[in-house]
Every structure is written in C-alpha cells, then in structure tokens.
Amino acid sequence: MSNTSKQSGSLRRYVLTRIALAVPMVLILLVLVFVMMRVAPGDPISASQGGKLNAAELAARRHAAGFDAPLYQQFWDYLKSVATLNFGTTFSDRRSVRDIIVENGGATLTLTAGALVFAAVIGIPVGLLAGRYRDRAVDVTSRLFSTVSYAAPVFVTAPLLMLAFGSTSGQASPLVQLNVPTQTHILILDAALAGDWDAVGDITQHLILPSVSLGLLVVGVFIRMIRINLIQSLQGDYIEAARARGVKERHVVARHGFRNALVPVITVLGLQVAMLLGGAVLTEQIFNWPGIGRQLIDYINQRDYVAVQGIVTVFALVVVVISMLIDFVNALIDPRVRY
C-alpha cells in the first residue's frame, strides 16, 4: 500500500522535475529564435515594404511596429506574444500567427498522422521480423530497405511515387469543393462530422501519396529501432530463464521478446516528430498541401520576419512539449526512467 503511494509520488515528482527542466530549454529556444531573426539584416518592414514606401514612411512604420525599440524591449514583447499564445501578426497579410496555426495546423496534423500510421504499419512488423531472424535474408532485405528509404529525401521519393502512381491515385485531380462546416480545421474530420463520406474518401485518396512519401522518411528509423530493441531484449537474462524453463521458442519471442521490444516505440515516435515536422515542410511544398510548413516557406520567400519567427517558435514549442509528453508516458510505463 505504502509502496504504491510512494511510486505515484515519485511519478509526480518526475513530471514536475521534467516540466521545470523544460522551462530553461524553452527560454533558450526563444532566445535562439529571437537572436537568429535579429541577426538577419534589415527589419521586417524594410524587407517587405522596402521598395514601396519612402524613407520617412518606413521609419514611421518601423516605429509603429516597435522595431526601433531597444532589443530588450523587443525581446520582452516577443516573450509576451509567446506567453499569450499570439505569436505576433504577419506583415505581408496581417494574419495572426495563431490563426495560421489554427487554420493550417489541421492539414499538417493530418499529414504527419498519416505518415506515422504508414511508418508504424510497415515499420513494426518488418522490424520485428528482422530482429527475430537476424542476419537472414529478411533482415538483410529490411536493412537495405530502411537504409534506402532513409537515404531518399522526400523530394526524391515523392516525384518518383507521383510518376509511378500518379494516374491511379487521384493525385492529379483537384480536391472536390467541400461544403462542410468548419469545426476542427481538420478537413477529414470536418467532412466526417458532416457525414460527407464522398469527401472523406476523396481526402483520403489525396492523403495517401503525401503520407507515404513522408512516412518513408521515418519508416527506416522504426525498423532499425525495433530490430535493435528486439535483438537486445532477446539477449536478456529473462529470455534465457524462459528458455531454461522450457518455454517454446515461439512463445519466448512473441511474449517476452516482442512486448519489451515494442516499449521504446513510443520514444521513437517522439524522436521522429521533429523529423516529421521538418519533412512536412518539404512534403507540403511538393504536394501543395495547405499546411503550416507551406505557409512558412511562403512567408520566408516574402521575407516576413514576424511570421517566420512566430511559426518557427510554434514548431520549437511543439517539439519540446511532445518530447516532454513522451518522457511522461515512458515514466509511466517504465519505472526505471523515474529514478
């Protein structure tokens, strides 16, 4: 009894410590983003409006936006905009970065979720097989596959996939006009909530190629992680013990090996989020996918510093929060993590 309460207490302490540790990380990230944006020459106004306005007007606009304020003042304003989850307003089209995240985030979420599903569906069984039959044909093949898929950037696999499947996947046809109320900003969910199953099918069809392209980027990591985990857990003493007790090899692998090899999958997932977000920027660009990454590139091309700063900040925060959540789940599953 006392033991369980002590354990839950240590979990709570772990969570609190982890949050406390994330605070300086977030601060450093914010400083980094801020500094990088200030190192870039000029300021958002001159960059975006330079040719269009005269010097006096530029100065007035700079003053109005606070870009002639001292740096610490600007940093304070930036911190405030982050704390209020507002992240500033873009210069080129006067959108709040928060609106961009809300309106375009759904598309990015759909894409990354699709990619993760693909990576898990392919990666987990292949990884387990490869680890089980180490150095056999299936292992060598899967290692080759994972190496090649890891080596191939999204912008190589995507056009090749488009060439191979372009005609049959409905990729060429535009998305049907959707007449569903916007509730979640996740198109596929909105369509499903409205009961428009034709639209759901159409969206799914359009989702396949981008998800596969992005998923191929991480499936190799899945396969390798699971393979190594299985190999290492099959070397464990408890596996020896199970074998010594006369448990059938099939059961040893399935019940003792697989299960323990799958626990780190959650960590893999977490580690891949950063990679997926980076890859999503490219994938969205290739497939004209209306996500945050595509917005980011648009704003970069317009040299809209505020928008870039805001979106990059959000990406950074998402990665920190997700890695924190992954640590929590790990601590919950594996008590050793807590100590």
Binding residues (CB under 8 A) for another protein: these are 24-25, 28-29, 32-33, 36-37, 39-42, 135, 139-140, 143, 147-148, 150-153, 155-156, 159-160, 162-163, 166, 172, 228, 232, 235, 237, 240, 243-244, 274-275, 277-279, 281-282, 285-286, 296-297, 300-301, 303, 308, 312, 315-316, 319-320, 323
CB nearer another protein, residue 110 or residue 272:
272
- List 89's β-bridge partners, or say none: 96
CB of 93 to another protein, least distance (A): 19
Per DSSP, 75 falls in state: H
Per DSSP, 93 falls in state: S
CB nearer another protein, residue 117 or residue 140:
140
CB nearer another protein, residue 63 or residue 243:
243
CB nearer another protein, residue 55 or residue 172:
172
Q: How far apart (Å, rounded) are the C-alpha atoms in residues 55 and 60?
A: 9
Residues whose CB falls within 8 Å of the CB of residue 317, separated by 6 or more in sequence, listed in order: 26, 29, 82
CB of 179 to another protein, least distance (A): 27
CB of 194 to another protein, least distance (A): 30
CB nearer another protein, residue 20 or residue 151:
151
Residues whose CB falls within 8 Å of the CB of residue 25, separated by 6 or more in sequence, listed in order: 320
Per DSSP, 209 falls in state: H
CB nearer another protein, residue 45 or residue 200:
45
Residues whose CB falls within 8 Å of the CB of residue 247, separated by 6 or more in sequence, listed in order: 256
CB of 7 to another protein, least distance (A): 29
CB of 190 to another protein, least distance (A): 27
Residue 267, number of CB atoms within 10 A of its CB: 19
CB of 138 to another protein, least distance (A): 13
Question: Which tokens is 303 given?
Answer: 């040299």
Question: Which tokens is 234 given?
Answer: 């099959």
Q: How far apart (Å, rounded) are the C-alpha atoms in residues 308 and 310?
A: 5
Q: How far apart (Å, rounded) are the C-alpha atoms in residues 307 and 312?
A: 8
CB nearer another protein, residue 199 or residue 296:
296
Q: How far apart (Å, rounded) are the C-alpha atoms in residues 300 and 280?
A: 16
CB of 162 to another protein, least distance (A): 5
Residue 323, number of CB atoms within 10 A of its CB: 17
